[in-house]
Amino acid sequence: MTSPPSFSARDSAFALFIVVSWGLNFVVMKWGLASWTPFQMGAARYLLAAFPLLLFIRPRGLPWRWVLLYGVAQGIGQFGFLFTALKLGMTASLASVLMQTQVFFTALFGLLFLQERLNRAQLVGLAMAALALMCFAMHFITGSTLQSGVTVLSFALNLCAAASWAASNIVARKAQQAAPGYDALAFVVWSSAVPIIPFVLLSAALDTGSVPAVIESLIQAPWTAWAAAAYLGWIATIAAYAMWTNLLKRHAANRVAPLSLGVPVVGIAAGMLLLGESVSAWQWAGVACVGAALIIVLFGAKFISQKGRLAN
Predicted pLDDT at 122: 76
- Express as a percent the part of the chain with pLDDT over 90: 38
Radius of gyration of the CA atoms of the chain, in A: 19
Return the axis-axis angle of helices 196-203 and 38-50, rounded to nearest 10°: 160
Length of the chain: 312
Q: Residue 228: name the closest of 92, 22, 28 by CA.
A: 28
Q: pTM (2 decimals)?
A: 0.82
Chain segment 55-75, per-residue pLDDT in tens: 999 888 889 999 999 999 999
Q: Residue 103: name the closest of 237, 243, 304, 294 by CA.
A: 294
3-state helix, strand, coil in the chain (%, to 5): 80, 0, 20
The domain limits of the chain are: 9-118+148-280
Chain segment 18-59, per-residue pLDDT in tens: 989 989 999 999 999 999 999 999 999 999 999 889 999 988
Chain segment 109-148, per-residue pLDDT in tens: 888 887 777 778 778 878 887 888 788 778 767 765 555 5
Predicted pLDDT at 3: 57
CB atoms within 10 A of CB 156: 12
pLDDT band at 245 (very low <50, low <70, confident <90, very high): confident
Chain segment 160-190, per-residue pLDDT in tens: 999 999 999 899 888 988 888 888 889 989 9
**19, 257 contact by CB (below 8 A):** no
